[in-house]
Structure formats: structure tokens, C-alpha cells
């Protein structure tokens, strides 16, 4: 059995040998890859060291409340966010990707306002002077809103002179109110006093007088030729 297997293996063709040039090129590519990995590792370690120093100096500096870092790629920014969180800081990225996208560090006891965040998003520079100006503008706007809700009542103006003195030659020294005659309402005839009514006759007397006048008129017409 062993002889049969040996004869079979001996009759098979050997695999083709790899040329020396191919083996040499493969080793060179492998060496280049290892060198590139080493460079990336060294660059990453250097970057982490620089960022760690910047974060540490910022955290220790009591006069700084925010710090802007240099533009970075997405991977570098993710590392900065992790390191900032470990240092007890807050961070946020601003700018255009692959152009000027960068990370800003903030101390938690001095958080940025909404106006400041909006300014960074627009690419503007934020300053204490701009913050104070916006604060005063906001206070003035709130005061205007309060004034609109609670308007100041108009002061009652007093006339500088008495109109009675100006028109004394027309209305006299007595006011119309003092000279007016007071009238009282009458339940039977409304606001007009019954004594002011001219016709004091009853309805029957009035009708009899009308009939008499008509009769007299008819007689007068009959007497005329």
C-alpha cells in the first residue's frame, strides 16, 4: 500500500516554482506596508500627544473659557471629542467638511449661548464685545415688549385759560348750566309738563267744535248766491 501511494506521488508533477523576482517584489510590498503602518501609528501618537497637551493647557488656564483647534479630518475630530470628554470639557465641531472643519473646546462652567453657537456656524468670530451688545439689544427688546403690553396712560391736560373769560361778551357771566330751567318728568305726558300743553280741552269738546265749524261753513256756502 505504501509503495502504491509512493508511486502515485512520484508520478505527479511538482507545483511550479515561484520566480525569484516575484518573491522579491512580494517582500518589498510587505515591507512598504509595515513601514506605512508604523508611520500612521507614529503620526497618531504624535497627534494624540499634541491634542492632549492642548486640552490639558486649556483646562488649567483659568482665563480661557473656549479654545478653537486646527482643522482636522473626521477621524481626528472623533479622537478630540473623546479626549475632551475625558478631561471634563464639552466640544463641538464647526466649519465645512474637508475645508475648515474644526473642533472648539468649551468649559462646562462657561457654556456657549445660542447666539454664540449661531455665530460660529456662520463662520463669524465671537467676542465679549459682541456678546455684550447682543445682551443690551435683548434687554431693550424686552423693555419694548413690556411697554407695548402695559402702555403708559396719557396725562390729563389742563386748559391754560378759562373759556368763560374768553367768551364773556357772548355768554355773560352765568354759565348755561346755571341759567337753565330744570324740568321734571310727568308720568302722564312723558318729559313735557302738562301745564305746558296749549290745548286743555277734552276730546268731546274738540269734536263738537269741529262739527260746529263744518256746519257753519256749509251754511255760509248755501247763503252765497
Q: What is the mean pLDDT of residues 107-125?
A: 91
> For residue range 46-58, what is the model confidence (pLDDT) as tens digits?
999 999 999 999 9
Per-residue confidence (pLDDT) for residue 64, from 0 to 100: 93
Higher pLDDT, 11 or 134: 134
pLDDT at 130 over 90: no
Per-residue confidence (pLDDT) for residue 21, from 0 to 100: 82
Strand partners, 68: 104
Residue 131, number of CB atoms within 10 A of its CB: 15
Three-state secondary-structure class, residue 106: strand
pLDDT at 89 over 70: yes
Per-residue confidence (pLDDT) for residue 110, from 0 to 100: 92
pTM, to two decimals: 0.49
Residue 83, number of CB atoms within 10 A of its CB: 19
Query: Which distant-in-sequence residues (6+ apart) come within 8 Å of 65 by Cβ?
Result: 106, 107, 110
Please report, for residues 73, 152, 170, 212, the alpha-carbon distance to residue 177 in angstroms, rounded to integers and kept in the order given: 92, 35, 15, 48
Strand partners, 79: none
Among 59-68, 96-105, 153-162, the least confident range? 153-162
**What is the CATH number assigned to the segment(s) 29-112?**
3.30.1370.50
Higher pLDDT, 133 or 106: 106
Residue 108 near residue 88 (C-beta atoms within 8 A): yes
Query: Which distant-in-sequence residues (6+ apart) come within 8 Å of 116 by Cβ?
Result: 126, 131
User: What's the mean pLDDT when you consider all of the chain?
Assistant: 79
Question: CA-to-CA distance for 61 and 63, rounded, in angstroms?
Answer: 6
Please report, for residues 31, 103, 108, 120, 161, the alpha-carbon distance to residue 117 in angstroms, rounded to integers and kept in the order given: 48, 13, 15, 5, 62
Per domain, the residue ranges of the chain are 29-112, 113-147
Please report, for residues 162, 178, 180, the alpha-carbon distance to residue 169 in angstroms, rounded to integers and kept in the order given: 14, 17, 19
Q: What is the mean pLDDT of residues 190-212?
A: 68
Question: CA-to-CA distance for 201 and 210, rounded, in angstroms?
Answer: 12
Higher pLDDT, 185 or 46: 46
Amino acid at each position: 500500500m505504501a509503495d502504491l501511494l509512493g508511486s502515485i506521488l512520484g508520478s505527479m508533477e511538482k507545483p511550479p516554482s515561484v520566480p525569484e523576482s516575484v518573491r522579491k517584489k512580494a517582500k518589498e510590498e510587505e515591507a512598504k506596508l509595515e513601514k506605512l503602518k508604523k508611520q500612521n501609528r507614529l503620526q497618531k501618537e504624535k497627534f494624540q500627544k499634541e491634542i492632549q497637551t492642548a486640552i490639558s493647557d486649556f483646562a488649567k488656564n483659568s482665563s480661557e473659557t473656549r479654545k478653537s483647534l486646527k482643522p482636522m479630518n473626521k477621524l481626528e475630530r472623533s479622537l478630540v471629542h473623546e479626549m475632551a470628554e475625558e478631561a471634563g470639557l464639552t466640544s463641538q465641531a464647526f466649519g465645512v467638511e474637508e475645508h475648515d472643519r474644526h473642533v472648539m473646546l468649551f468649559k462646562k462652567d462657561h457654556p456657549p449661548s445660542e447666539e454664540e453657537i449661531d455665530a460660529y456656524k456662520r463662520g463669524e468670530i465671537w467676542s465679549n464685545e459682541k456678546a455684550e451688545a447682543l445682551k443690551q439689544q435683548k434687554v431693550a427688546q424686552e423693555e419694548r415688549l413690556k411697554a407695548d403690553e402695559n402702555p403708559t396712560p396719557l396725562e390729563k391736560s389742563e386748559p391754560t385759560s378759562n373759556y368763560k373769560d374768553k367768551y364773556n361778551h357772548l355768554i355773560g357771566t352765568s354759565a348755561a348750566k346755571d341759567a337753565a330751567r330744570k324740568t321734571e318728568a310727568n308720568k302722564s305726558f312723558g318729559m313735557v309738563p302738562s301745564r305746558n300743553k296749549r290745548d286743555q280741552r277734552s276730546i268731546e269738546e274738540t269734536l263738537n267744535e269741529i262739527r260746529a265749524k263744518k256746519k257753519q261753513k256749509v251754511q255760509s256756502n248755501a247763503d252765497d248766491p
